[in-house]
Amino acid sequence: MNSESRRDRVIKALEHQTSDRVPHFCELTEQARNKLIPHFADDFENTTFNNHLFYQQYSGWPTPVDREHPEFYRDEYDVVWNRSGVDKDIGVVETPMICGPAIEQYREPQFDEQRFRKTMYRAARKNNKYIIQHSCGDISELFPDLIDIGLDCYQTFQTEIYDMDGFKRDYGNDLSIWGGISTQQILAKGPHSSI
């Protein structure tokens, strides 16, 4: 029996179908990658991890300042931001950053994020791309809206937050997950035998 290609496995996962193996992806921070480079070949992430995904993030904004400082970005107002290790998540481990009825009215100043996401999702769909949205933390109350505007896959699914069976029951027909490994407990603190 021939094994499936990595591409086919990922598409099957996004389409809620069974494949011969579960697709996987491991990404490193720039700091971790730089520490490992002396011990491996330059392309070790591709050869060692054998990742199933190579993805493109929206790069129209922010714009990297230069190659020597990949953590610095320039926004459309020419402001330079240090983005080393930080991101604009919409959730924290226990809850969304804004809870309850306030979240329905919340918008950043002069920026309608839901409209922006819907526009970005639509552009990707028009070009036959899948939509993968990252957020740390518990954003379960946002899942129905994100599914409604076209989300295919939620990344990062944290087992410290979500009940796998409950998620599968409530959203399994509409939303794929990227994650499912305890990154804050098992991977960070667990014994090698549990990993």
CA dihedral for 126, 58, 88, 50, sign (positive or negative): positive
Confidence at residue 88, expressed as pLDDT on a 0 to 100 scale: 53
Q: Encoding tokens for residue 182? A: 């305890």
Q: What is the rounded CA–CA span in Å between residue 5 and residue 148?
A: 30
Which of 22-31, 55-64, 116-125, 146-155 is the least confident region? 55-64
Confidence at residue 86, expressed as pLDDT on a 0 to 100 scale: 45
Q: What is the rounded CA–CA span in Å between residue 97 and residue 103?
A: 9
Confidence at residue 175, expressed as pLDDT on a 0 to 100 scale: 94
Predicted confidence (pLDDT) per residue in 115-135, tens digit: 777 888 888 888 888 888 888
Q: What is the rounded CA–CA span in Å between residue 64 and residue 72?
A: 6
Confidence at residue 83, expressed as pLDDT on a 0 to 100 scale: 63
Closest CA to 58 of 112, 132, 155, 128: 132
Confidence at residue 109, expressed as pLDDT on a 0 to 100 scale: 47
The letter for the amino acid at 11 is: I
Between 175 and 56, the higher pLDDT residue: 175
Q: What is the rounded CA–CA span in Å between residue 19 and residue 28?
A: 26
pLDDT averaged over every residue in the chain: 78
Q: By three-state DSSP, how is residue 83 classified?
A: coil
Confidence at residue 96, expressed as pLDDT on a 0 to 100 scale: 64
The letter for the amino acid at 43 is: D
The letter for the amino acid at 18 is: T
CA dihedral for 65, 108, 155, 4, sign (positive or negative): negative
CB 139, CB 91: distance < 8 Å: yes
Confidence at residue 165, expressed as pLDDT on a 0 to 100 scale: 93
Between 147 and 62, the higher pLDDT residue: 147
